[in-house]
Structure 1
Amino acid sequence: AEVLRLQINLPPNAQPDVAMQLSPDGRRLAFVVVGEDGSRNAWIRDLETLDARPLRGAENLATSPIFWSPDSRWLAFSVAGELRRVNVVDGGDPVAIAPAGQIGAGWNAEGTIVFGTNPGPWGSGALYRVSATGGERVQVTKVDPARGEYAHHHPQFLPDGRHFLYLRATRPESRSGIYVGSIDSSPDQQSTEQLIATPYGPVFFMRAGADGDGLLLYLRNTTLMAHRFDPGRLALSGDPMPVASPVGSFIDRALFSVSEDGTIVYTSSANVLTRQLTWVDATGVVLSTIGAPAVLSDVVLSRDGTRAAATILDLDSPSARNELWVWDLARGTQSLLSDQSQPPSSPAWSFDNTRLAFAVSTESGPEVYERSASGLEDARLLLRATDGGRVEPTSWSPDGQFILLTRESVETGADIWALSRETGMAAPVIRTSSTERDAQFSPDGRWIAYRVTDGDGQPQVYVTAVQATSPALRVGGGPWRVSNGLGQFPRWRADGREIYYAGPASIVAVPVFTD
């Protein structure tokens, strides 16, 4: 088929986001633009013209996907913990649907929306349904932690409007896959038979013949695949065929969209994920770059500023696996640190700059290791979790006694735990119905800064006092909010007198007085 490259002119200093959706009639492309102030706003490109325009009423969107109504007249999205829709054709004010965040959604011709959630303020990680005109949401699926599941995401309706395809996301992701669900079944009655093994959603159905059969399009590694599918029998046949490569992804979201006439829009992985380590000064001026551009994530700087660690996605490997690398910033060299059979993530430096803790997802569950940053000794296993929820080390205590963790669960979303390096035991420090992440010890070890996301979907930075009561870490006072407006990724200044955090469009510094 013919490949058409779209060039879209954006406002000055604006950047494209990963969210995009082709309308079912194939006439319009909806996508999200991140403005200079950090706001995420929906734009519409009519494919028959050269112009793109901002969509009034679709401003300040959450980082979740956008999706169309089946008649291609409405675009739906999440703002501040609320699911909304706006008329793309006639305009007008946005219409509230339900107080809910969503991680992918499908909308059928009868006006039913099925949407995914994460564990936390908006849901249990299951799928829910709600009328497009509003009303109470109803749970459709149930997450099964015993199978390693933590969330159900990215539902897409099949032609009958009753069945849908969705992703059951697991830890490790090698167990993730696409399943068939039904809005006529209770959560306990949903099929547990995996249709396609992939860690990415959504999966789109495209008609390919007069008999009603068609193709399922899905992402495998970085290749878009097509597989013959009978929507009446809900069964695959034959072998899958490659359609396009490379196709990008973001977490568990495949960056492609399909219209009813078979038009496919996708973003290549190279354009979405490639980044470069860069030094900037306090005003944002670029001073220098480090190494070559790569698919970087989880970048952390040692406290003395001499080394950095990050994970790199190797797109040339057959499984597109993550690797953990360490950079010597003075010498300009880098070395591979990870040697686990499973890909590592979430590195965290010790206070003395000599060791790194990191997470590994395995078939038996998440694990946390530590290793010398020199790589001259084998990695040491610190924790083997058995509940399947994701675990991320975030900060070491100054005395090296504890490592703070972000730990996910179906019941409470993400919480802050402390791992004792001496006993290998982990216990919750802050565990509420809100989502708490990215806790960071103060330089004196008496405080932690962390981000909290409540039901409004807006992250804030808080500080609380902690004290060690061997072998556990306990809250000793607080919390106190330190961010003014949206804030995330807190970091302490070396003397503990300031906290830096990421605001909507800038790095913010807040004085801290703890005496």
Structure 2
Amino acid sequence: MKKIDASGGPPQTICDAPNGRGGTWNRDGVIVLAPDNFSPLYRVSASGGATTVVTKLDDSKLQTTHRWPWFLPDGRHFLYRAGTTSAATPKESNGIYLGALDSLEQKLIVRTDTSPVYESGNLLFIRDGTLMAQPFDDKTFQLTGDALPVAEHVQFDFGVARAEFTASENGVLIFQGTLATTDRQLLWFDRSGKQIGSIGEPALVSQPRLSPDGQRVATGIFDLQAGSPDIWIYELSRNVPARFTFDPDFDVYSVWSPDGKQIVWASNRKGHADIYQKDSTGAGSDEILFESEENKSPTSWSPDGRFIAYSSTNVKGNTKYDIWILPMFGDRKPFPFLRTQFNEVDAQFSPDGRWIAYVSDESGSNQVYVAPFPGPGGKWQVSRNGGTEPRWQGDGREIFFVSPDNKLMATEVNPKESTLEIGNAQPLFELRLAASPGYRYDVARDGKRFLVDTQKLGSSVPLELVVNWVADLKK
């Protein structure tokens, strides 16, 4: 987390916040923040220094995150959203809670699954896409009246449980409307960036994954009405999707088995993200493959079918993202591939199974590396100026990744026994990537076509500013 003077100047680092989920600053120079997506809240001095925990995750309520804090006028108490990491299907205990700098106790204020804002005697929150204002006494910490609508069709990110609005003490409110689902689609591009096809209709898709034979695509499709994504499978010959998962919670991060007969994915139906498996035809029931306290997202299946790589982070926030390996034989006891004080994510097995490409922020920024599997051995840096979302070409001779300025990069790779020769990364074309978590593209085996979760050119929603919105409530 960094700060910058309102009049300009260089940014100043305050504390580590690798996957921040909001912060709030009181008049005494104390900041309360959520430094990670699976953490309680911490306090830190605005001048920097050590962080101290100020809330405690309640396991009995399936709380895996505290986020989006907002100080009340006394500078001691604050509101925050507590519950599971997403606002998929509302859990009974998810809601807006009250906390304090000098106490770990938590008090439920209202059962609504969104980020809170307090201004002008009202608690502001989202309900079914509508921004609501409900009178709230900041001395007794009680709701004192009915909730009234302020604005409709306000943009809401179900993945992080945050609405796109804020308010100031002088009666100014600003919010962003919803983005049409017609502004995103899975599109095919060649190596020059020319669009050569499309898949399905425009939709809120995520994490497209081509089957090993290139005949099908598994992808998440977000249902705005249900408030959660499910996995769907397209038969490319028919270009029609078939629903693969039916659970009301988040079902995401699909990965095909090497023979294309199975799909594994992550689901938070038990409060934390576990790994599930089912026949890729959709036959049979969902089988839980690996369950634990940690949140897990599968990223790759080894070509011999013996191992699944997945990203994992501790629900209590005392570790960053690590790369683990789940054996598909024996007792299936996972073991770490990379577990350090840094974030390591997006592990991808090479086509021969001897290497894993991954992303780490050990240098201070996200870079793509390759390391031998199962190890030991050194590592080779693939990107030079930042990179995420690595993918292998089908013959293992190229690695693709996304640069910080959204260019699709290609790097030649030449394996030589126990070492690698890594070429210089070359830009292929600029991507119009949608703002969604996880992988936003996949590569055909020949490396000549790319399936991209694409944002329509020029598609954006303006910010709307409302002055003296409190007076409008009284009309």
TM-score range, shorter chain: 0.7 to 0.9
- Give CA-to-partner distance per residue, 1:209-246, whole Å, 9 cap, x none: xxxxx211112453323222111011224443443332
Per chain length, whose mean CA-contact separation is higher, i.e. which structure has more relative contact order (CA < 8 Å, sep 6+)? 2
Check if 1:177 corresponds to 2:84: no
Structure 2 counterpart of 1:233: 140
The TM-score, its normalising length taken from structure 2, stands at: 0.78
Q: Distance in 2 between matches of 1:190 and 1:235?
A: 19
TM-superposed CA distance for 1:500, in Å, is 0.7
Check if 1:190 corresponds to 2:98: no
Check if 1:498 corresponds to 2:403: no
Give 1:254-333 correspondences, 5 Å limit.
Answer: 254-271=163-180, 274-317=183-226, 320-333=227-240
Q: Distance in 1 between matches of 2:59 and 2:225?
A: 33
Structure 1 counterpart of 2:154: 247
Structure 2 CA distance for partners of 1:103 and 1:96, relative to 1, 3 Å: same
Q: Distance in 1 between matches of 2:209 and 2:384?
A: 25
Q: 1:508 aligns with which of 405, 409, 417?
A: 409
Decide whether the 8 Å contact of 1:347 with 1:356 is kept in 2: yes
TM-superposed CA distance for 1:460, in Å, is 1.1
Q: 1:480 aligns with which of 373, 380, 388?
A: 380
TM-superposed CA distance for 1:149, in Å, is 3.7
Decide whether the 8 Å contact of 2:97 with 2:107 is kept in 1: yes
Q: Aligned to 1:308, what secondary structure does the other structure show? A: strand
Give 1:373-388 correspondences, 5 Å limit.
Answer: 373-385=280-292, 387=293
Q: Distance in 2 between matches of 1:243 and 1:216?
A: 12
**Sequence identity percentage:** 35
Decide whether the 8 Å contact of 2:84 with 2:272 is kept in 1: no
Give 1:395-406 correspondences, 5 Å limit.
Answer: 395-406=300-311
Give 1:159-178 correspondences, 5 Å limit.
Answer: 159-170=73-84, 174=91, 175-178=93-96
Q: Aligned to 1:434, what secondary structure does the other structure show? A: coil
Decide whether the 8 Å contact of 2:262 with 2:278 is kept in 1: yes
Decide whether the 8 Å contact of 2:230 with 2:250 is kept in 1: yes
Q: Aligned to 1:103, what secondary structure does the other structure show? A: coil
Long gaps (5+) in structure 1: 1-77, 208-213, 468-474
Give 1:38-57 correspondences, 5 Å limit.
Answer: none
Q: Aligned to 2:352, what secondary structure does the other structure show? A: coil
Structure 1 counterpart of 2:297: 392
- Give CA-to-partner distance per residue, 1:303-361, whole Å, 9 cap, x none: 333221111111133xx222211111222111001123433111112222332111111
Long gaps (5+) in structure 2: 417-475
Decide whether the 8 Å contact of 1:128 with 1:137 is kept in 2: no
Return the structure number with greater strand share.
1
Check if 1:366 corresponds to 2:278: no
Q: Distance in 2 between matches of 1:195 and 1:265?
A: 24
TM-superposed CA distance for 1:273, in Å, is 9.2
Decide whether the 8 Å contact of 1:171 with 1:366 is kept in 2: no
Decide whether the 8 Å contact of 2:247 with 2:269 is kept in 1: no
Decide whether the 8 Å contact of 2:84 with 2:271 is kept in 1: no
Give 1:131-146 correspondences, 5 Å limit.
Answer: 131-132=45-46, 134-144=47-57, 146=59
TM-superposed CA distance for 1:105, in Å, is 1.4
Q: Distance in 2 between matches of 1:311 and 1:291?
A: 13
Structure 2 counterpart of 1:413: 320
Aligned AA for 2:33? F
TM-superposed CA distance for 1:159, in Å, is 1.3
Q: Distance in 1 between matches of 2:338 and 2:22?
A: 29
Q: Aligned to 1:144, what secondary structure does the other structure show? A: coil
TM-superposed CA distance for 1:489, in Å, is 0.7
Check if 1:109 corresponds to 2:27: yes
Structure 2 counterpart of 1:127: 41
Decide whether the 8 Å contact of 1:143 with 1:151 is kept in 2: no
Q: Distance in 1 between matches of 2:279 and 2:322?
A: 27
Aligned AA for 2:224? L
Structure 2 CA distance for partners of 1:135 and 1:343, relative to 1, 3 Å: closer
Structure 2 CA distance for partners of 1:341 and 1:92, relative to 1, 3 Å: closer
Structure 1 counterpart of 2:4: 85
C-alpha RMSD of the superposition:
2.4
Decide whether the 8 Å contact of 2:274 with 2:295 is kept in 1: no
Structure 1 counterpart of 2:465: none
Structure 2 CA distance for partners of 1:415 and 1:199, relative to 1, 3 Å: farther
Structure 2 counterpart of 1:441: 349
The TM-score, its normalising length taken from structure 1, stands at: 0.73
Structure 2 CA distance for partners of 1:431 and 1:285, relative to 1, 3 Å: same
Q: How many pairs align?
A: 403
Q: Aligned to 1:356, what secondary structure does the other structure show? A: strand
